Amino acid sequence: MRFNKKTNWRILAPVLVALAGFTWGLIGLFSHELRRVGLSALQITHWRNIVAGATLFIFLLVRDRSLLRINIKDAWMFIGTGILSISLFNICYFICMQESTLAVAVTLLHTSPIFLMIFSVLIFKEKFTINKGVAIVLAAIGCVFITGLIGSDTLQISSRALLFGIMSGFTYALYSVFSRFALRKYSWLTIITYTFIFAIIALFPLSNFPRMVELTFSDSKVALSMLALGVFSTLTPFLLYTKGLEHMEISKAALLTFVEPSVGMLVSVLVFKEYFSLNFAVGLILIVAAIIVLNRPQKTKALLSEQDLV
């Protein structure tokens, strides 16, 4: 991405982050065809990483090879971002989607800022505030509404879907924790590239790659969906979000990324005709309220800066 010195980042940065949220929200749309032909959650995750990682690796190989150099002693950082976070979060996300609906999966994924707050207290010794306590309560009640535990006569999703939905939020939050350490030594482009590379390597023994290729390229529509998922809903949002964060406050960026569940919810209802209940609406509102409370300005200096949370 090239921008001149006169670029008005006050306007452009929020636009980039909002666009990142929009493209992330299209995951369910592009993954539908892959799930239809029988690709598993793990195989879909593997394709996302392969397409995004290969695209960015080739770009850096041509433009700036120095960004591909890392110290082997720092491999733990990329094991964290690529395997413990990106790989596991995608697997949990798609399993939740398969076990319930896209709407539920998207909303439960957005418990991740709450887990990030907990990590900041336990790992980085950040002070636990009233705002954080209120945010946890709001998010927890929101999740209860979404699952149908209250406000509904029947449970809308299974315990398995609930578990994997919450785990997707938990593992997604790990990316910011590990990348915070990596950013002290490496470019954001290096971190994103090796995040995908480590995820690809980890998933190869588990994905039954020959069968994965056979199913995907048996239908041109499926192959195109795979490419779109990797480029438009994986690589593109990572680049947009990270670039936007360089020029705006993390609290504002967190709120703008809620374009994602809104888009995901619209795709769920308008494209796949999934049922949208009052419970979903109440749950989503409560989780948004939790993020707003969590990002209210504090008198104490926040330990996790916008440069750390990418």
Extract the tokens encoding 305: 């800066």
Mean pLDDT by 10 residues, the chain (310 residues): 64 83 81 87 89 94 93 94 89 84 74 77 74 77 69 67 90 84 86 92 90 92 92 88 70 59 68 70 78 63 43
3-state secondary structure string, the chain?
CCCCCCCCHHHHHHHHHHHHHHHHCCHHHHHHHHHHCCCCHHHHHHHHHHHHHHHHHHHHHHHCHHHHCCCHHHHHHHHHHHHHHHHHHHHHHHHHHHHCCHHHHHHHHCCHHHHHHHHHHHCCCCCCCHHHHHHHHHHHHHHHHHHCCCCCCCCCCCHHHHHHHHHHHHHHHHHHHHHHHHCCCCCHHHHHHHHHHHHHHHHHHHCCHHHHHHHHCCCHHHHHHHHHHHHHHHHHHHHHHHHHHCCCCHHHHHHHCCHHHHHHHHHHHHHCCCCCCHHHHHHHHHHHHHHHHHCCCCCCCCCCCCCCCC
Q: pLDDT value at position 306? A: 42
Question: What are the sequence ranges of the domains in the chain?
Answer: 25-294
Q: How far, CA to CA in Å, does 283 sit from each of 107, 166, 184, 286?
A: 8, 14, 37, 5
On whether the CB atoms of residues 294 and 113 are closer than 8 A, the answer is yes
CA 49 to chain centroid, in Å, comes to 13
Q: pLDDT value at position 227? A: 93
Q: Give me the amino acid identity at 285.
A: I
Q: pLDDT value at position 103? A: 66
Q: Give me the amino acid identity at 95.
A: I
Q: pLDDT value at position 201? A: 92
On whether the CB atoms of residues 229 and 24 are closer than 8 A, the answer is no
CA gap 309, 126 in Å, rounded = 15
Q: pLDDT value at position 285? A: 83
Buried b (16+ CB within 10 A) or exposed e, 257-277: bbbbbebbbebbbeeeebeeb
Q: pLDDT value at position 30? A: 84
Tally the residues of the chain: 310
On whether the CB atoms of residues 192 and 238 are closer than 8 A, the answer is yes
Q: pLDDT value at position 8? A: 77
Q: Give me the amino acid identity at 38.
A: G
On whether the CB atoms of residues 44 and 228 are closer than 8 A, the answer is no
CA gap 291, 283 in Å, rounded = 13
